[in-house]
Amino acid sequence: MGEHLKGNCLSRIRSMARVEGAITDRVSRFVLAHPGDAVGLTISKLATKAGASVATVSRFCTGLGYENYRAFQIDLAASLAANEAAVSDVFGPGDKPATIVERVFEMNRQSLLDTEALLEREKVNAVAKLLMRARRLFLIGIGDSGLIAKSAALRFGSLAIATHAITDPYEGVLLLSSATSRDVAVGISHTGRTAVTTNLLQLAQRKRARTIGITNYADSTLAALSEFTLLTSFRERRVNAAVSSSAIAQMCLLDAIYFLIAYYQGAKAQDLASEIERVAEDSLRAKA
């Protein structure tokens, strides 16, 4: 299958929505818990250990983008060889403060590496060109994703793209009600199941705006609604309901798109950056 799948098997599995009770989810959970064992198991033995059928394991493999079970095993072995499973996201009561700090940085570094491994370069390039041509760009996010939307709106605005960060449902209805096929709406949601974000993206879709989703899960509602889906990868461990998110990976994806647009704009982007720097120097910075 596509070269972007090579050596990122565990990241691909994590990007699949883990629907409680789904049979394929049993296979996902077994492989994530015992990746070393799964590499050496026949398809029938893996099915038995996961409590699923051979047909389900086969569907699991093709759903990840592999041609067959053997291709899945080869990529899983490559993931393990690359030490993809090395970072732990578990915090125990016996951990020292220094260990917790170190592990948080490790988790975020690994999130960026895993997200890069999932990245489909041609798709990101196509998204950058789409945003560059947009009449208006709407970035939709709630909570932590709303902060990402606001930060990204400033970046894209600096490239003279008319950008709106939508972090409130009523504001979203007002703005998106006038959307057209010349506009682009980007939904940002770690779970891909944030109701406000998916509902507003549906509204944009009804207005024929182009749609993009940024989420951690390939099989989420947001991904299903989006014309283009960009996946992040974060191995969450929820200390409370709002702790874990892929915010750093989300911002890195949007930064990559920003710099691609600046590259395509060429001298225009350079001129805009120089003007912003001049105004900031004159108006915002203390004189020596």
State phi, psi for 86 to the nearest 5 degrees: -70, -30
Number of domains in the chain: 2
In the listed set 66, 86, 106, which residue is the last one of a domain according to the structure? 86
Query: 145-165 pLDDT, tens per residue?
Result: 999 999 999 999 999 999 999
Distance, CA of 61 to CA of 112 (rounded, Å): 24
Q: Is residue 94 part of a domain?
A: no
Whether residues 12 and 126 fall in one domain: no
Query: 42-67 pLDDT, tens per residue?
Result: 999 999 999 999 999 999 999 888 99
At 72, which CATH number?
1.10.10.10
Whether residues 72 and 122 fall in one domain: no
Q: Is residue 31 part of a domain?
A: yes
Domain of residue 126, residue span: 118-279
Query: 19-40 pLDDT, tens per residue?
Result: 545 667 889 989 988 999 999 9
Quote the pLDDT of residue 244: 55
Whether residues 194 and 251 fall in one domain: yes
